[in-house]
Amino acid sequence: MAMTTVRKWVVAFALSVLAGSAHAANEISFYYYSVSPNNAKAVEDLIAAFEKENPDIKVKGSNKDYRTLNAEIKTALVAGNPPDVGQILTQSISDMVLNARAIPLEKSPDGAKWMERFYPSFRTLGQFKGQNYLLPFTHGVALMYYNKSLMKEAGLSPDSPPANWDELVKQAQQIKDKTGKEGVFAFGTDNDWNTQTILIAGGANILSPEGDRFTFADEKGIAALQTWQDLSKKYGLMPSITTRQALAAFNAGQLGFYIYTSAQLVGIVNNAKGNFDVGVAAVPRFGSEPLKLPNSGSGLMVFSQDPERQKNAFKFLEFLSRPENSIKMSLDSGYMPVTMDPMSDPRITDFVAKVPQYSVMLDQMKVVVPKPQYPGDRAVDIQNLMVGLLDDLLAGRGTAAELAPEAQRRMNETLGQPAK
Amino acid sequence: MLPGRQPSERDQTMRLTFLAPALLLIAVFIYWPLIYTFVLAFHQWNLTSSEMRFVGLTNFSGLLDSPIFDAALKNTAIYIVGSIPLKVLFPLFIAPAIWVVSARRGIVHKSAIFLPTLMSFVVVSLLWMWLLNPLVGIGNSVMAMLGLRLPPLLSSPDTALWTILAISAWKIMGFNMLLYLAGLASVNRDQIEAMRLDGAGDVALFRYLIWPTLSPTTFFVLIVTVIFSIQQVFTPIDILTHGGPSNSTTNLFYMVYQYAFQSFNIGYGAAGTVLIFAIIFVVTAVKMRILESRVHYQ
């Protein structure tokens, strides 16, 4: 009798452990990230709307740090419990396909016809070996935010923000001299997207046409990096602070110009309400170089290995691909609208009427080029050298002409080292 | 079992039965990962692939040539050595100072110094990020009142490491102070009276009574601080600087994390872990050889 009771307890315990460790069948586990509270709220709203439409399916959303999200997906996969859907940065597509068993969207029972709802260039960003793996979700582009109130106070016209870096230096200097506030923060050293953006905007080619060597340390690349370094070292206009500190400073009205991703657009505009007038403009051009900017951001991938769970995951993706939901994500955050012909949607035109700054971001979509993907398997070292190049320029350890060729040499040397 | 009696077979079985759960947990969660890390250090693997290739010492040579390693090794040494005055010696003087004040006042000071220990390292890091913002932080406001400007402590390669070290010391100091106070509980206050009657001043009291009494605690605090100091700075590094600027704040732990869990180069991560193990092993062995003979156990 006693033994039977013990056995019952053991079985009950084992079952409860199993139930706790595995996902429920009618549940979608979703790992995502957000770079501002607005983004997180938009995702939560979309999840709630999906659950309302599909009351038998529960979406378990987990808001993660974008830098550790891939790691969490892979470790969950090794433990036999991958999330069904994950938000993946575009530069990680090949890695997640090859090493995290991502499922091509064509495997959807309906053949993923809903991918045609997206603008073709955003679809291309998510392809690997001819198949679609990434549902376009949050793609950003660099923008220049500026404090119109400070510009007025400094005697500048708030309707004529700087169009090139010479004008940026002049206007930032005037703000600093007349108001005592800081001039500009342009591209921090928090990740390699900043280095890529400076180089691409300056007209340099980061990689060779074959994509196997770094080639950015040419005349244009060095000139762009030097222009960036001059902001702090030559003119003393860019304070030496972290990107998070710069955002806080801009939001507090202590900074004239702040150049970073459009993902912060709606957050910045909302924050400025009642405090100061915020303007948004294109990233200033390097000389006469036509402006090109790499995308930032990510899309959604399916990782469920179980066909039943995949079905629910694809259902969720189909829901998010609908223009009304895709546009909501864009309007609530500042990411680019990724659907076909967004300007024909009255929600976009209404929003632009309410938040005119958003139209600048729409204009910038025309100059977006795909973010380069590094060859080989030494991404950490390459990213480290890319960020280190900006760090060293900011610390005044040399000029761009001295530091960029050396960084490029080390990157190529790293690629040439035996794999792992 | 009575003393002197030979254990019966049944006793042996019972002992093993009771020890089994603990042995199993230790084997699975301590010894197996330790052994497996050594195995992984000689293999190329990306965590998810079923294929794992033996590569000999390639991971170690690649790691030593990597652009991060030199900075990580040098910074690890600075984090360890810099932790000693801040986390070991400073609380050693704070603890007796609090111990001699009245119990009521002592508890206020103890609570104030111990409070940061209770906060999570993430909260502590974010708090200091705001405090040290050179444009809008409280630190800047205070400096402005004095007519000064707060330097960019976290974004300058010359100051970022020391700032992170100071933040981790601020958090850990209270815990070490508590350990010293526990050690001081064994001091006989009559002895102090007697020394005072013989004309001993504060310095003599510390030199001849407090210091010898606290030497086992100091030895313990020193070993624990050295072992954990490189782990304790992981969270502030990740939140405040990501190892930058110019790799000036990274350390071996953070480098291992980047290789293993950002690029999934598990071989490099394991090779780095083996190096950390070797460094901590050697440093601890040297400390024990040099210092243990000088520790005064009652």
ipTM for the complex shown: 0.70
Instruction: Please count the other Cβ atoms lying within 10 Å of the Cβ belonging to residue B100.
Output: 13
Name chain B contacts of A384, Cβ cutoff 8 Å: 67-68, 243, 247, 258
Task: Identify the residue with better confidence: A20 or B242.
Answer: B242
> Which residue on chain B is closest to A74 by alpha carbon?
B48
Of A78, A414, A417, the CB nearest to B48: A78
Rounded to a whole number of angstroms, the distance from the CA of A71 to the nearest CA of chain B is 5
Do you find a cis peptide bond into B245, omega within 30 degrees of 0?
yes
Indicate the pLDDT class of residue A181, thresholds 50, 70 and 90: very high
pLDDT value at A284 more than 80 = yes
Give pLDDT tens digits for B231-260. Answer: 889 999 999 998 888 889 999 999 999 888
Q: Which residues of B71-88 are buried (b: 16+ CB within 10 A; e: fewer)?
A: bbbebbeebbebbeebbb
Chain B residues 253-292 within an 8 A CB cutoff of chain A: 258-259, 261-265, 267-268
β-bridge partners, A49: none
Indicate the pLDDT class of residue B4, thresholds 50, 70 and 90: low
Of B48, B137, B268, the CB nearest to A74: B48
**Gap between the Cα atoms of A301 and A315, Å rounded:** 13
> Which residue on chain A is closest to B60 by alpha carbon?
A420
**Gap between the Cα atoms of A61 and A20, Å rounded:** 16
The token pair that represents B22 in the structure block: 């603990």
**Gap between the Cα atoms of B269 and B263, Å rounded:** 10
Of B47, B244, B259, the CB nearest to A391: B244
Rounded to a whole number of angstroms, the distance from the CA of B108 to the nearest CA of chain A is 34
pLDDT of the residue at A296: 83
Contacts of B261 (CB under 8 A, 6+ apart): A68, A71, A75, B269
Max Cα–Cα distance, chain A, nearest Å: 91
Indicate the pLDDT class of residue A3, thresholds 50, 70 and 90: very low
Verify whether the Cβ–Cβ distance A248 to B130 is below 8 Å.
Answer: yes
pLDDT value at A4 more than 60 = no
Indicate the pLDDT class of residue A409, thresholds 50, 70 and 90: very high
Tell me the average pLDDT across A56-63: 94
**Gap between the Cα atoms of A149 and A216, Å rounded:** 38
Indicate the pLDDT class of residue B55, thresholds 50, 70 and 90: very high
**B156 at the A interface (CB within 8 A)?**
yes
Indicate the pLDDT class of residue A344, thresholds 50, 70 and 90: confident
Chain B residues 18-57 within an 8 A CB cutoff of chain A: 44, 46-49, 55
β-bridge partners, A58: A27
pLDDT of the residue at A420: 37
pLDDT value at B208 more than 80 = yes
CB pairs under 8 A between A and B: 127
Vertex A79: Cα angle to B227 and B268 (nearest 5): 45
Question: How far is C-alpha B7 from the chain's CA centre?
Answer: 43
pLDDT of the residue at A418: 41
**Gap between the Cα atoms of B36 and B43, Å rounded:** 11
Taken in order B241, B246, B252, B255, the sign of the CA dihedral is positive
What SS3 state is found at B286? helix
End-to-end CA distance of chain B: 32
The residue length of chain B stands at 298
Tell me the average pLDDT across B79-105: 87
> Which residue on chain B is closest to A183 by alpha carbon?
B135
pLDDT value at B3 more than 70 = no
Q: What is the mean pLDDT of chain A?
A: 88
pLDDT value at A149 more than 80 = yes
The radius of gyration computed from the CA coordinates of chain A, to the nearest angstrom, equals 24
pLDDT value at B187 more than 50 = yes
Tell me the average pLDDT across A53-79: 89
Helix, strand, coil percent content, chain A, rounded in steps of 5: 50, 15, 30
**Gap between the Cα atoms of A26 and A55, Å rounded:** 10
Indicate the pLDDT class of residue B178, thresholds 50, 70 and 90: very high
Rounded to a whole number of angstroms, the distance from the CA of A5 to the nearest CA of chain B is 21
Rounded to a whole number of angstroms, the distance from the CA of A68 to the nearest CA of chain B is 7
**B66 at the A interface (CB within 8 A)?**
yes
pLDDT of the residue at B271: 96
The strand ranges marked E within A169-328 are 182-186, 255-261, 278-281, 293-294, 296-302
Q: Which of A4-18, A362-376, A382-396 has the highest mean pLDDT?
A: A382-396
The closest alpha carbon to B85, from B179, B183, B162, B153, belongs to: B162
**Gap between the Cα atoms of A106 and B78, Å rounded:** 53
Tell me the average pLDDT across B135-157: 87
pLDDT of the residue at A49: 96
pLDDT of the residue at B103: 72
**Gap between the Cα atoms of B219 and B287, Å rounded:** 9
pLDDT of the residue at A23: 56
**Gap between the Cα atoms of A258 and A260, Å rounded:** 6
Indicate the pLDDT class of residue B49, thresholds 50, 70 and 90: confident
pLDDT of the residue at A17: 46
**B69 at the A interface (CB within 8 A)?**
no
pLDDT of the residue at A24: 63
pLDDT of the residue at B231: 83
Q: Which residues of A77-114 are buried (b: 16+ CB within 10 A; e: fewer)?
A: beeeebbbbbbbbbbbbebbbebbbbbbbeebeeebeb
B contact test, residue of A247, A380, A383, A394 with most B CBs within 10 A:
A380
β-bridge partners, A145: A258, A280
Q: Which residue has the tokens 């958090």?
A: B171
**Gap between the Cα atoms of A341 and A323, Å rounded:** 10
pTM of the model: 0.78
Q: Are A258 and A102 in contact (CB under 8 A)?
A: no
Name chain B contacts of A254, Cβ cutoff 8 Å: 135-136
**Gap between the Cα atoms of A183 and A175, Å rounded:** 6
**Gap between the Cα atoms of A250 and A256, Å rounded:** 7
The strand ranges marked E within A40-121 are 58-64, 85-89
